[in-house]
Amino acid sequence: MDFGAINPVVLFASLMVASTPILLAAIGELVVEKSGVLNLGVEGMMITGAICGFAIAVETGSPTLGFIAAMAGGAALSLVFGFLTQVLMSNQVATGLALTLFGLGFSALIGQGYVGTKPPATDRLNLGVLSDIPILGRMLFSHDLIVYLSLALVATVWAFLRFTRAGLILRAVGENHDAAHALGYKVVRIRLAAIAFGGACAGLGGAYLSLVRVPQWTEGMTSGAGWIALAIVVFASWRAGRVLLGAYLFGGVAVLQLNLQAAGLAVPVELLSASPYLVTILVLVIMSADRGRAALNAPASLGRVFHAST
Amino acid sequence: MNRRTLLASAALALGLAGTALAQDKTKVGFVFVGPIGDGGWTYEHNQGRLAVEEHFGDAVETVYQESVPEGADAERVLTQMALSGADLIFTTSFGYMDPTINVAQKFPNVKFEHATGYKRADNVGTYSARFYEGRAVQGLIAGHMTESNIIGYIASYPIPEVIRGINSAYIHARKVNPDVQFKVIWAYTWFDPAKEADAATALIEQGADVILQHTDSTAPQAAAEKAGNVYTFGQASDMAEYAPKPRISSIIDNWTPYYIDRVQAVIDGAWTSDDTWDGIGAGMVKIGEITDAVPAEVKAEAEALIEAIGSGAYHPFTGPLNKQDGSVWLAEGETADDGTLLGMNFYVEGLTGEIPQ
């Protein structure tokens, strides 16, 4: 065993990178679910964002444009879901699953010409003095813009849901769409906006995978990250702060277990391999159990079809 | 002729027409564990499928299903394929072994070919490539190229095929560099680019400057390229887009001749269950171009090794070799028999860590 080989500073830096795609997708899905819509198509939107971002970044040579295209692609796909579930009132679970299947196939189709291509490098943000701080600089202040953006997004979503009138309306729509409708709020429009936001976040998360974390395009490259994001939203009992905790726990333990394996830790590898799932679920469940009302935290209208006439 | 006999004969005629039609075209199914665009393992199997289509033209129809999970889903997919009239089905991953055997029992007239497994039946044959021969070449190059003397190895599942690869690479790396040390990470996946990239990064952060992989995507190559001074090898496919650096050579699986041969056997009615295990000599395992990043003398040494293995003059598992616990495995000059290799579940002496059981 050789723990000296694990450098905690580098480990933490890797952790932040590894967690960002899931964090982005999860925080987007949190807003969608808070508005009372269950979109199971996160995986499909992520991978669509991954290829849209990758393709545009390669064609234009600009990762920034790639990230914007990824958000647009994810949002566009999510609006297909929005149209079907909100306007045509289809079943949300089935439509969401279909969206995942569609996204996986569609991204494979667009991606045909991009297998083996290398994307332009995404620059690390130059934070000047901050990046030069020993240890902390390498750990926290030497990442690319998207990592910070994802953190800012969590804070923004938290503040939005907690302190703003618009956030209150969004929650009202998610808790009781009939009452919100009776008060004169445009339930469908608000939900569509939330769905598009969720799609954009998932798309951005996907592009972070294909442009920074891996960086390359491979079919099916999200391999389940979208489902992890969905699970984290539930285990975080629909709270922004816990989504951050969940995503970093999952990403962190996933990176840590690989490092422990490489260092030769004498723990069964199967256990290490399962540890990201076990630890994340365990921690979040224990945290929610504390309050005793975690189950009540689910938006009351989650997944229910809304029609103005009923 | 009353109505009932009319219907019966019509049904019979239809049935006959149906079989006649089915006999016209031989239907060949492929079950893949990853997407065909993975750039590695499944990509090469699909190249074999395309070659079958091209070779036989209209005489053969191929169908395939990609990203099929190993387990109950595989059984469903196989049943579906057999029901839809496939004459021959290639199941291209180790984890399809039991599903293949189970489904084969229900469809005695359908032929099955299972890759990398060891269970056979009257209508189930197995085939595999001696990848460990290629691993020996990789190990030799890796042992020469490493400066930190730490070689990282991204393993997939603890099955004999993967363990053989680790042993073979280690034996030949140690031969040219006695100080070499292997760090093995078990990814428990064949295909998960993000995880593979993370595993490669973890190994690099812990000092590995050569990465071998037994997973299917090109993600470790990208991670190595990002890190800079790290060398990698293409796995299953050439992965030439990462040449000349970090990818300095590769193992290429060449299934095409085998697939064409077996489909021909089914068409001729000459198919029988057998076990094929070919290597560099038969052309099933190819070594991709060794790039200029490798010094000329190392390249020459590697080519001599390829030659020796291909001609059968040298076996990568030649004694004296001890097992990890120090007990004698092969005496001086003795070579490993296929039975031991197929069931290999131990590390050779010098490797650290334990194989997950």
Is B234's Cβ below 8 Å from some Cβ in A? no
Chain B residues with CB-CB distance to A118 below 8 A: 222, 225, 241
Please name the residues between 124 and 163 in chain A that touch chain B, using a CB distance below 8 Å.
Answer: none
Instruction: Report pLDDT digits (tens) over A41-94.
Output: 999 999 999 999 999 999 999 999 999 999 999 999 999 999 999 999 999 999
Q: How many residues does chain A have?
A: 310
Name the class of domain B132-252+284-342: alpha beta
Q: Is the pLDDT of residue B12 over 50?
A: no
The pLDDT value given to residue B2: 53
Is B230's Cβ below 8 Å from some Cβ in A? no
Whole-angstrom distance, CA of residue A6 vs CA of residue A14: 12
- The conformation of residue B121, written as its DSSP 8-state character, comes to B
Q: Which residues pair with B231 in a beta bridge?
A: B210
Please list, in sequence order, all residues whose beta carbon lies within 8 angstroms of the beta carbon of residue A109, skipping any fewer than 6 positions away.
none
Chain A residues with CB-CB distance to B217 below 8 A: 218, 221
Is B37's Cβ below 8 Å from some Cβ in A? yes
Q: Give B27 to chain A, closest Cα distance, Å.
A: 24
Instruction: Report pLDDT digits (tens) over A165-212.
Output: 999 999 999 999 999 999 999 999 999 999 999 999 999 999 999 999
**Cα within 13 Å of Cα(A131), Cβ side:** 8
Residue A310 lies in a domain: no
Regarding beta strands B26-31 and B88-91, do their DSSP bridges make them parallel or antiparallel, or are they unpaired?
Answer: parallel
Common-topology check for domains B19-130+255-278 and B132-252+284-342: yes
pLDDT, mean of residues A258-275: 84
Helix/strand/coil for B237: coil
| Span between the terminal Cα atoms of chain B, in Å | 69
CA-based nearest residue in chain B for residue A110: B37
- Domain carrying residue A39: 3-297
Q: Give B168 to chain A, closest Cα distance, Å.
A: 19
pLDDT, mean of residues A143-168: 94
Q: Give B317 to chain A, closest Cα distance, Å.
A: 25
Average predicted confidence (pLDDT) for chain B: 89
Instruction: Report pLDDT digits (tens) over A94-121.
Output: 999 999 999 999 998 998 888 778 888 8
Chain B residues with CB-CB distance to A215 below 8 A: 222, 226
Whole-angstrom distance, CA of residue B71 vs CA of residue B55: 32
**Cα within 13 Å of Cα(B123), Cβ side:** 19
Please list, in sequence order, all residues whose beta carbon lies within 8 angstroms of the beta carbon of residue B94, skipping any fewer than 6 positions away.
B70, B115, B116, B117, B157, B159, B161
AA letter at B238: D
Choose, out of A221, A228, A260, A267, the residue to mutate when testing the contact with B (most B CBs < 10 Å).
A221
The pLDDT value given to residue A290: 62
Q: Which residues pair with B153 in a beta bridge?
A: B184, B212
Q: Give A11 to chain B, closest Cα distance, Å.
A: 8
Q: Give A258 to chain B, closest Cα distance, Å.
A: 6
CA angle A218–B242–B238, rounded 5-degree value: 80
Choose, out of A12, A118, A219, the residue to mutate when testing the contact with B (most B CBs < 10 Å).
A219
Cα A222 to the center of its chain, rounded Å: 11
CA angle B103–B107–B112, rounded 5-degree value: 65
Domain ranges of chain B: 19-130+255-278, 132-252+284-342
Is B47's Cβ below 8 Å from some Cβ in A? no
Residue A164 lies in a domain: yes
Residue A10 lies in a domain: yes
Contact A112 B34 (CB under 8 A): no
Residue A214 has its nearest CB partner, among B185, B197, B356, at B197
Please list, in sequence order, all residues whose beta carbon lies within 8 angstroms of the beta carbon of residue B269, skipping any fewer than 6 positions away.
none
How would residue A13 be classed by pLDDT, with cut points 50, 70 and 90? confident
- The conformation of residue A112, written as its DSSP 8-state character, comes to G
The pLDDT value given to residue A4: 66
A82-86's contacts with Cβ under 8 Å and 24+ in sequence apart are A82/A191, A82/A192, A82/A195, A82/A196, A85/A37, A85/A305, A86/A37, A86/A188, A86/A191, A86/A192, A86/A195, A86/A306
Q: Is the pLDDT of residue A239 over 60?
A: yes
Contact A259 B206 (CB under 8 A): yes
**Phi (first) and psi of residue B150, to 5 degrees:** -115, 120
Q: Which token pair is A29?
A: 């899905």
AA letter at A100: T
Choose, out of B67, B184, B185, B354, the residue to mutate when testing the contact with A (most A CBs < 10 Å).
B185
- The conformation of residue B106, written as its DSSP 8-state character, comes to H
Q: Give A190 to chain B, closest Cα distance, Å.
A: 34
Q: Which of B146, B239, B251 is nearest to B193 (CA)?
A: B239
Contact A262 B183 (CB under 8 A): yes
Chain B residues with CB-CB distance to A265 below 8 A: none
The pLDDT value given to residue B19: 46
Is B353's Cβ below 8 Å from some Cβ in A? yes
Q: Which residue has the tokens 């001609």?
A: B311
Q: Give B89 to chain A, closest Cα distance, Å.
A: 24
Contact between residue B234 and residue B213 where contact means Cβ atoms under 8 Å apart: no
| Fold (CATH) for B19-130+255-278 | Rossmann fold (3.40.50)
Residue A135 lies in a domain: yes
10 Å Cβ neighbour count for B264?
17
**Phi (first) and psi of residue A221, to 5 degrees:** -70, -20
Q: Which residues pair with B335 in a beta bridge?
A: B318
Residue A262 has its nearest CB partner, among B39, B191, B203, at B203
Average predicted confidence (pLDDT) for chain A: 89
| Span between the terminal Cα atoms of chain A, in Å | 65
Helix residue spans in B25-116 (DSSP H): 41-56, 72-83, 97-106
Contact B39 A225 (CB under 8 A): no
ipTM over 0.90: no
Contact between residue B106 and residue B83 where contact means Cβ atoms under 8 Å apart: no
Whole-angstrom distance, CA of residue B130 vs CA of residue B287: 12
Regarding beta strands B60-65 and B247-253, do their DSSP bridges make them parallel or antiparallel, or are they unpaired?
Answer: unpaired
pLDDT, mean of residues A262-280: 84
The pLDDT value given to residue A292: 57
CA-based nearest residue in chain B for residue A213: B194
Whole-angstrom distance, CA of residue B225 vs CA of residue B236: 19
Q: Give B81 to chain A, closest Cα distance, Å.
A: 21
Whole-angstrom distance, CA of residue A263 vs CA of residue B152: 11
| Count of structural domains, chain A | 1
The pLDDT value given to residue A6: 77
Is A110's Cβ below 8 Å from some Cβ in B? no
Residue A309 lies in a domain: no
Whole-angstrom distance, CA of residue A251 vs CA of residue B9: 66
Contact A259 B205 (CB under 8 A): yes
AA letter at B165: G
Is A219's Cβ below 8 Å from some Cβ in B? yes
* Alpha-carbon separation of residue A180 from A159, A165, A188, A295, B222 (angstroms): 21, 13, 11, 22, 50
Name the helix (H) or strand (E) containing A235: helix A225-235
Helix/strand/coil for A144: strand
Contact A264 B353 (CB under 8 A): yes
What CATH number corresponds to the domain at position A273? 1.10.3470
Is B48's Cβ below 8 Å from some Cβ in A? no
Q: Give B22 to chain A, closest Cα distance, Å.
A: 30
The model's pTM: 0.84
